[in-house]
Amino acid sequence: MWVIILLKRIKSTILILTAFAAFISPINCFASVSAASAVVMDAETNTILYETNAYDERPMASTTKIMTALLACESGKLSQTVTVTDEMLLGCEGSSVGLRGGDKITLYDLTVAMLLASGNDAANAASCFLAGTLEEFASLMNQRAAEIGMNNTEFVTPSGLDSGNHHSTAHDMALLAAQALTNTAFSEICAMQKCEITISGKKQTLYNHNKLLSSLDGCVGVKTGFTEKAGRCLVSAVEYKGNTLICVTLSDPDDWDDHASLIKQCKKKYSEKRFASEIQIPVVGGKEDFVTASYEYSVITVSDEFSQRIFYYPFAYAPIKKGDTLGYVKINNKTVPLKAQEDVKIYGTEQK
């Protein structure tokens, strides 16, 4: 039976009444951006670090392909070969990788094509392969969106080409990106600056449209987008000291610079939190009645809310060596070992 100790630190709120504070929100005390809608979110906690019109519904162009690619990666069919048909390509316009009826290509390469080169033909082909029709695939997209919590989104096309009421919000797209990055195949593909694919036995190299991958430290994705209706749209992800920041801008003529600026400013919201404690655990059969066990943990985080649960058996058996693991501590979703701080010999042995 485990002994469980629950320690909880609740976020405290301090209200400071000043004339200046009444006019400026701490979330938005940054320089203005060009985007009609924008948000920066911590991917693990969904904490909003910056937002402007983040819940306004807008078209999101090819950033839509984040959902299309995620469903492809979650299908378990990436290694399967897709035979492209003329019907799959009906209505395709804009960016493409040159697919034609009769072409053969793996679903993995289609996913690469839609994330790196933003191939609308690749998105259509993948969608029809997975669901039969674009309409059926849109239903799958909306079902997955509901599961993620994208409550202000409606997917109509897999490519992001404008049709019907196809729309999302900056906040919803940040939720989508955070979810997609937990998928290993998706996260590996969207971080590639270039990749070779094969169409009907012919190889071609695709280059990622996301130039932040080479210009912004720690950038690991995610997707660009543009239509005349949506304007320039961009979803980016940056790793920072064990955290991932998601930045989304919709209808932003200066998106590259805005993302770099917002990420730089939002990094300042992170700070180091340290946790340490000691516990005396009873010892059976030892020269000492108790052994000291302790843990130390530090993390760079934006969160002020932590729960600590300490797990260990009611007693430990001698002999015990310094550094032995006698239990563990759960600090939010992190597991930290609880280790012995001294040796404990068996009772009756000679002291050396």
Catalytic residues: 62, 65, 118
Cα separations in angstroms, 327 against 8, 27, 91, 330? 19, 39, 60, 10
Regarding beta strands 316-317 and 271-284, do their DSSP bridges make them parallel or antiparallel, or are they unpaired? parallel
C-alpha closest to that of 65 among 133, 157, 139, 3: 157
Query: How far from chain centre, in Å, is Cα 228?
Result: 28
> What HEC string does 84-105 produce?
CCCHHHCCCCCCCCCCCCCCEE
Tokens of 177: 């990106």
Contact (Cβ atoms closer than 8 angstroms) between residue 140 and residue 130: yes
Cα separations in angstroms, 259 against 110, 146, 166, 238? 27, 27, 24, 10
Residue 128 and residue 234: Cα distance in Å, rounded?
A: 26
H helices present in the chain, as ranges: 65-74, 107-116, 120-131, 134-148, 170-180, 184-190, 212-215, 255-266
Contact (Cβ atoms closer than 8 angstroms) between residue 64 and residue 250: no
